[in-house]
Amino acid sequence: MAEMLQGFAGTSDDQEFYLLSPPGYKIGATKYVVVLGSVISGVGKGIFSASLGKVLQDKGLAVSPLKFDGYLNVDAGTLNPYRHGEVFVLDDGTECDMDLGNYERFLQKNLSRENYLTSGKIFTMVLDKERRGGYLGKDVQFVPHVTGEIIGFLRELAVKQRADVVLVEVGGTVGDVENSYFIEAMRELAYAEGEGNVCFVNVTYIMEPPSTGEQKSKAAQLGVKRLQGQGIQPHVVVCRCPTPLEQKVREKVSVHSNVPLARVIGLEDKRSIYEVPAHLRKSGIDQEILRILHLTGKDDSVPAKQWEGFVSRVLQPKHEIVVGITGKYTKVKDSYASILHALEHAGASLDAHVSVKWIETTEIEQGASPDDVLAGVHGIIVPGGFGKRGTEGKIACVRHARERRVPYLGLCFGFQMAVAEFARNVCGLQGANSTELGETPHPVIDLLPEQHGLAKVGGSMRLGGREVKLRAGSLVQKLYGSSTVRERFRHRYEVNPAYIDALTQKGLLFSGEAEGIMKLLELPGHPFFVGTQAHPEFRSRPLEPHPLFVGFVAACQKTDKSGRAAGRDEVRAVQAGD
């Protein structure tokens, strides 16, 4: 049957098949692992998928992940971080779900728009094709047309990225209305590809009610049955749980899901997400999946040992530092997930554990002293963000870092706030600010030239990777060890060229630029004061920590060893520009 359906598009009235294949696609050459969740959202599908991808990659297989999200947004660009965590930006400018950040970190490679799919993106593709007459007069339906386009998208990914394994994570849970047609597409994928080419994994949740003091599997059993009711029999069940999975619970799940016991594994909470690949190897589930898909893998001991070395440094640090992150989404830590990971990567490279003190900057605006709020931190990060709320508090934190000689790293909006603070308090430009935040007598931060006159929000920013030229002899040039570097951007505002001379004359050094736009700044003579219009956190990897974060954490360690903040005389000297 699979061979009969190869490349068939079903355009005649007497056929019901609509299964697309790009040129060069061969059934069986690429295998598929489809990961679905049940019981609760946020069960850990993304970390499991990324970890499984890492384990398969270490065995010599080319792995291409794909994340599906059921919402109608075309991409994640307009999503509120409070609701969906950070918006991760790929090198090609795609604004996507934060799970793609996990994929990039674990697989240590750049992904593209081909690795991300939403309902909005699918429906846009289908409706555009219908308007062009691409369905040849057919009444366009979810089955077979929408599901067929999804299968075509996956096959296109397989061909373009030459994947041995396409790893599909279905966002949300089984039973979500917005996921139903995509799950149907996965059922049809297994039908079209044939036995031995698609493996279904159900990541479920084992509850531990405090009132009973024991693990309960009934919700997990019902979740699997609901998946079976949609035509999918899982090959593997992964039981997420706070504590190690009990054998009797594992047996119950196996019996009620028709999944062999060897393919039901527990995945309890870990001290670090980076422990999960080793856990999967130990459980043997990687070998089970290889058997299901008729694949063989090479010896993975060398990459596994490298990864375990990183994990040991994460879990057994020799030093402890505290970094203050001054954000506006601090109640949802996933809003800053990539920053936290970048700090973890940099800390591990320096045998340090980085603890985070969350600073709600609106408290400073309401009268709290920056000295009190920032007491005990060895470094300060002002991250990206949009909107006016909390910005004056952020500027106060920047001033504290500059005057107290506390290591400072400004990311995107934090770069812009550093410019505003310097303009106000060193250059004497009272009220200097960004035009994003309202009227200002000194618009030191203003719209990018191409943004003037644009009314839409989604997709109107400067997005993705850009080559940045670094100033010779600057701190950032030394940290990167190169004269140029590629960084990722997500912004609509820039340093106003009309104010660059005034800022540099007072000592601010713009040490990186791209296309005539200032992208990096630093303050010579300060222990570490660096701002970047980019989002370097998106490029940090466990085994390749980002240079700016490594430099920042190293400076924080020196602050910790000094055991004190800057004295009053030093503050006065900084204020005077000496």
The amino acid at residue 169 is E
- Quote the tokens at residue 346: 């940099």
537 labelled catalytic: yes
Annotate 148-161 with b (16+ C-beta within 10 A) or e (fewer). Answer: bbbbbbbbbbbbeb
Which is the catalytic residue, given 412, 427, 442, 556?
412
436 labelled catalytic: no
Whole-angstrom Cα distance, residue 461 to residue 87?
13
Whole-angstrom Cα distance, residue 342 to residue 345?
5
Which is the catalytic residue, given 491, 535, 546, 556?
535
Whole-angstrom Cα distance, residue 282 to residue 286?
9
Whole-angstrom Cα distance, residue 25 to residue 373?
59
Which is the catalytic residue, given 149, 537, 546, 556?
537
- CB of 270 closer than 8 Å to CB of 226: no
- Quote the tokens at residue 552: 């920042």
Beta strand 509-514 pairing with 462-470: antiparallel
Q: Is 118 helix (H, G, I), strand (E, B) or coil?
A: strand
Contacts of 53 by beta carbon, 8 Å cutoff, 6+ apart: 63, 65, 103, 106, 107, 165, 167
Task: Give the closest residue to 158 by CA, choosing from 56, 23, 54.
Answer: 23
Q: Is 422 helix (H, G, I), strand (E, B) or coil?
A: helix
Edge to edge, the sheet with strand 408-411 lists 352-360, 319-327, 379-382, 408-411, 529-532, 517-522, 509-514, 462-470, 484-491
Beta strand 198-205 pairing with 236-241: parallel
- Quote the tokens at residue 303: 């990459």
412 labelled catalytic: yes
Tell me the β-bridge partners of 532.
411, 520
- CB of 96 closer than 8 Å to CB of 138: no
Q: Name the residues annotated as catalytic.
A: 412, 535, 537
